[in-house]
Amino acid sequence: MTTTLPALRAAGKLTQADLARAVGVSRQTINSIETGRFEPSLSLALTIARHFERPLEEIFALEG
């Protein structure tokens, strides 16, 4: 899975901790998603997409 999450955070001037608080997870979870060590649940992915007001597919994509 690939993600544009780091770029979206940077554009919004959000730290990992800021985003984590906004979507109700730990900073470590956001870090793990961004580094590819963890794939978010559907509900978390949708919550992140809603936070950024972007389509899910703009933030997360399957590789290949």
Check residue 63 and give its pLDDT: 84
Domain count, the chain: 1
**pLDDT tens readout for residues 48-57:** 999 999 999 9
Q: Which CATH number is 6's domain given?
A: 1.10.260.40
Read off the pTM: 0.94
Residues 13, 19, 25: CA angle, nearest 5 degrees:
165
Query: Do 5 and 30 form a contact (C-beta atoms < 8 A)?
Result: yes
What is the distance between the alpha carbons of residues 17 and 46, in angstroms, rounded to a whole number? 18
* DSSP states of 17-59: HHHHHHHTS-HHHHHHHHTTS-PPPHHHHHHHHHHHT--HHHH
Domain that holds residue 7: 2-61
Check residue 2 and give its pLDDT: 96
